[in-house]
Amino acid sequence: MAAGKIIIVNRSPNTLSVAINIWSSNGGDPGTFAVLPGATGDSATWSRTDERGYVMYLKQGGSEAPFYVVPGSTITFVSMDSVVDNGQRIHPITAPLPSLTEERPEVNPVEK
């Protein structure tokens, strides 16, 4: 594990697009970068040191998903269904969406 770094290894047969957010205090480039495919896996390294962790956004073909990663992560990408961080399979992060049919109380109800 490389402290202060996040390593992405692409073991798929196709190019992988990767973006990892930054915190304003520690710099870095949050842009999207291509990690080329390779039989043994081509890799790319991001310098990230904040212990709060980061959102890593992966895109390949028509599939894309965000994942939570921390400094020291070594991500092995085989497919969108097979993403591993230091030997542990990880899954995309999601936010719950409010139901469109659910009644919501008014934030500042006006007395009538």
Tell me what percent of the chain is helix, strand and coil, each rounded to the nearest 5. 0, 40, 60
CATH number of the 5-90 domain = 2.60.40
List all residues 6 or more positions away from 39 whose beta carbon is below 8 Å from its beta carbon. Answer: none
User: How many C-alpha atoms does 112 have within 13 Å on its Cβ side?
Assistant: 1
Q: What is the pLDDT of residue 40?
A: 64
> In the structure, what pLDDT confidence band is assigned to residue 83 with cuts at 50, 70 and 90?
very high
Mean pLDDT of the chain: 86
More confident residue, 95 or 91: 91
**Statement: residue 57 has pLDDT above 80:** yes
Q: What is the pLDDT of residue 102?
A: 62
